Amino acid sequence: GENVEQHPSTLSVQEGDSAVIKCTYSDSASNYFPWYKQELGKRPQLIIDIRSNVGEKKDQRIAVTLNKTAKHFSLHITETQPEDSAVYFCAARYTGNQFYFGTGTSLTVIP
Amino acid sequence: NAGVTQTPKFQVLKTGQSMTLQCAQDMNHEYMSWYRQDPGMGLRLIHYSVGAGITDQGEVPNGYNVSRSTTEDFPLRLLSAAPSQTSVYFCASSSEGFLEQYFGPGTRLTVT
């Protein structure tokens, strides 16, 4: 939705290269920012998340960074592999228990 | 554990018909949510529940009703289906406030 903007909408990288997806949000009180991976015809699956009290979190080849001042957060995938090809969604928890997703990034890793 | 289950997987309705999408979870999660996913628009929150007997509206609640009589079940009702409700519907659950949500397999609904 418009409350979370996500860019780019499509991304193609060569196998082994890095991929970066960026999201911005508008509610300065937002405190939870997850990233989901969705393969074609499947359900979204959580791959990493970050809370507002930390600036970076890493899990093997995946990392998320958060800039609260600028109200944006990013997903970084290093050493990409063909199985990383999927649609990735960012999301943010807003005040009042509302939850918004970005519009998704279709990542293609070219072997 | 089955996790989050949804039925049916596919459904075709005619305009004006009503139906209920079923969602159940066996993880004893307090939070449950319904989303719809449309091409190019990501997932949008329809309704959510913070526990049995408590529900609230999300971003796009119009045309949908929910109730939560048990911790396990969170059905979504379409009272009078419209073509604009053609979408993929996902149910999700979490132990607290949308954190680490687990999604069901989805229901693909077509309204003609």
Instruction: Give the residue-averaged pLDDT of B86-95.
Output: 97
pLDDT at residue B67 above 70?
yes
- Residue B27's pLDDT band, with cuts at 50, 70 and 90, is very high
Residue B43 in this model has a pLDDT that exceeds 70: yes
| Closest alpha carbon within chain A to B101 | A46
Residue B37 carries which side chain, given as an amino acid letter? Q
Task: Tell me what the pLDDT averaged over chain A comes to.
Answer: 95
Cβ pair B110, B12 in contact under 8 A: yes
For A103, which of B40, B100, B104 is closest by C-beta distance?
Answer: B40
Backbone CA torsion sign across B37, A90, A72, B94? positive
The helices-and-strands tally (H runs, E runs) of chain B is 0, 11
Cis peptide before A111 (omega within 30 of 0): no
Distance CA B47, CA A64 (A): 28
Distance from C-alpha of B36 to C-alpha of B78, rounded to nearest angstrom: 13
**Position B96 pLDDT exceeds 90:** no
Check if A49 contacts B (Cβ < 8 Å). Answer: yes
**Statement: residue A61 has pLDDT above 70:** yes
Give mean pLDDT, residues A19-39: 96
Averaged pLDDT for residues A24-53: 95
Least confident among A40-49, A88-97, B79-88: A88-97
Instruction: Write the residue in B44, B97, B103 that is nearest to A44 by C-beta.
Output: B103
Residue holding tokens 């600028």? A70
- The single residue listed with the structure tokens 């609230």 is B56
Cross-chain Cβ contact A32/B101 below 8 Å: no
The confidence score (pLDDT) of residue A2 equals 55
Q: Which residue of A has its CA nearest to B33?
A: A99
Q: Which residues contact A2 (CB under 8 A, 6 or more apart)?
A: none
A3-A90-A10 Cα angle (round to 5): 100
Q: Which two tokens stand for residue A80?
A: 């990409």
* Residue A1 clears pLDDT 80, i.e. is over it: no
User: What number is the average pLDDT over the span B88-106?
Assistant: 95
Band (A23; pLDDT cuts 50, 70, 90): very high
Q: What is the mean pLDDT of chain B?
A: 96
Phi, psi of B58 (to 5 degrees): -100, -145
